[in-house]
Amino acid sequence: MTGGLDDCLAVREILSAELDGRADGSEVARARHHMSTCRGCAEWLTAAESIQRLVRVRPAEYVPDLSSVVLERAHPPRPGRGEWVRYSLVVVALTQFVVALPHLFSLGSLHDSRHLGAMAVALSLGLLYTAHRPTRAYGILPIVSALAVTMVGAALADVIRGSTPLIGEAVHVLELIGFVLVWMLAGRPGLPRRRRFSRRRVLRSVDAHESASRRSVA
């Protein structure tokens, strides 16, 4: 060993800084030169590297596969095979837009008729946007369902009272079809899904793995 205790303490401080990536190049060179003639510092560095490796490198902790739960709650869109649901929604929305547009801008129409035309045009634009961005289907579903139910219900009431012929209310079928397509695009919420993973089942698997890990450590 060359040098005294103070030299070894200074060298080991430099080596510790090197392990942390904070040492200067010239200091490291001096420490390495000292270590070539000092067995104690060389052994100290070997032990320090082993401790650092044990602290920084360890087995990865078990993480349960939550992809099914996350996807279930995210409500991913389901456009159907060949995305036929999206294309059908575009056709329904454009048809409804063309049918409702004359009521919106007709000067001879009644005030209530223009309001209904504006509502139908707004609904058709919403359906077009949903077809363009299918991830929005679940969010717009409550609005589409409320409009479809109220409009179809009002149309049926008019037909039952005899104030409007059935053929005159047939246009509201488009709203009902649009609602069904948005519901399908949103993943058919409300129906049980196959291979549905409950949160309780996931928690059970996590607890079982943790218990097994404790037993293995013990």
Cα angle, residue 56 at apex, residues 54 and 59 outer, rounded to 5°: 75
Q: Provide the pLDDT for residue 90.
A: 92
Identity at 164, one-letter amino acid code: T
Contact 193, 72 (CB under 8 A): yes
Ramachandran assignment for 80, one of left (phi > 0), alpha (psi -120 to 50 degrees), beta (any other): left
What's the chain's Rg over C-alpha atoms? 36
Identity at 32, one-letter amino acid code: R
In the chain, domain spans:
5-56, 76-185
* CA dihedral sign, ordered 160, 157, 181, 105: positive
The DSSP letter of residue 60 is P
Name 136's Cβ contacts closer than 8 Å, sequence gap at least 6: 129, 130
Digit-by-digit pLDDT tens for the chain (218 residues) are 444 556 888 888 888 888 887 878 888 888 888 888 888 888 888 888 888 887 777 777 777 877 776 666 666 777 777 788 889 999 999 998 888 887 777 655 566 667 777 888 888 898 999 988 888 888 888 888 888 888 778 878 877 887 777 676 677 788 888 889 998 888 777 665 554 444 555 455 545 555 555 554 44
Q: How far is it, in rounded angstroms, from Cα 216 to Cα 61?
A: 14
Contact 3, 38 (CB under 8 A): yes
Q: How far is it, in rounded angstroms, from Cα 94 to Cα 76?
A: 25
Q: How far is it, in rounded angstroms, from Cα 182 to Cα 132?
A: 12
Classify burial at 15, counting beta carbons within 10 Å of its beta carbon; exposed 0-12, middle 13-18, buried 19 or more.
buried
